[in-house]
Chain A
Amino acid sequence: DQQVKQNSPSLSVQEGRISILNCDYTNSMFDYFLWYKKYPAEGPTFLISISSIKDKNEDGRFTVFLNKSAKHLSLHIVPSQPGDSAVYFCAASAYGGADGLTFGKGTHLIIQP
């Protein structure tokens, strides 16, 4: 059973518009959530994170929102740029991540010119 779900395998967005990537989780013990970005033939790169004690974290064009009651988080990218085209993974952890991260299957974001 998947504990972290990204239900959209792909998403196409026009350059300059907002990209919204969604993630749902089932494990109530998760207390830290991360987004990673991955280009082909490279390792995942950390993008942004949020602790369960917050509901929003912002870093430049990237904002992550957490709705604990719905067990849902989303990543907003605005404005979207061509370099944002990549696979985005949602990940979650508990207890400081000492026993690893649990990843979703990823969403392939395509930014159209």
Chain B
Amino acid sequence: DAGITQSPRYKITETGRQVTLMCHQTWSHSYMFWYRQDLGHGLRLIYYSAAADITDKGEVPDGYVVSRSKTENFPLTLESATRSQTSVYFCASSDSGAPGTDTQYFGPGTRLTVL
């Protein structure tokens, strides 16, 4: 089915471990984004990508690494997880980044708990 998917949906890990959250979209959208949602903060941008091999930092990038070797995939890696990274992570994609194409479409989210 077309759309944007995230895996895993739920993950529990321990402090200091590396964990990778996966995001896959089938629309061939140019832009992809990672947000985290925390109580009292709404959604905050972690990293974004305009195309394969082009990534840039958002508002809260520290502790995260991204890559985009293929247009359809945009994995987010926590190299050494900390308790403050316990959150719900949302991946999103959008078309071209041109004015009027700002609408982003979100995946179902990954709930990450760092013990």
Q: Which residues of A contact B (CB under 8 A)?
A: 4, 6, 31-32, 34, 36, 41-46, 49, 51, 89, 91, 93, 95-106
Contacts and interface: CB of A to CB of B under 8 A. Distances in A.
A69 to B, nearest CB: 21
Contacts of B2: none
A24 B97 CA distance: 23
Contacts of B33: 100-101
A103 B43 contact: yes
Query: Which secondary structure dominates where chain A touches chain B?
Result: mixed
B85 interface: no
27 contacts: A32-B99, A34-B102, A36-B106, A41-B109, A42-B109, A43-B107, A44-B90, A45-B106, A46-B104, A46-B105, A89-B43, A95-B97, A96-B101, A97-B97, A97-B101, A98-B31, A98-B50, A98-B97, A100-B45, A101-B33, A101-B45, A103-B35, A103-B43, A103-B44, A104-B42, A105-B41, A105-B42
Interface of B: 31, 33, 35, 40-45, 48, 50, 56, 58-59, 90, 92, 94, 96-109
Contacts of B90: 43-44
Contacts, number: 77
Given A41-B109, A43-B108, A96-B97, A49 B103 contact: yes
Contacts of A106: 42
8 shortest interchain CB distances as A-B pairs: A97-B102, A98-B97, A43-B106, A100-B45, A105-B42, A103-B42, A103-B43, A32-B102
Contacts of B109: 41-43
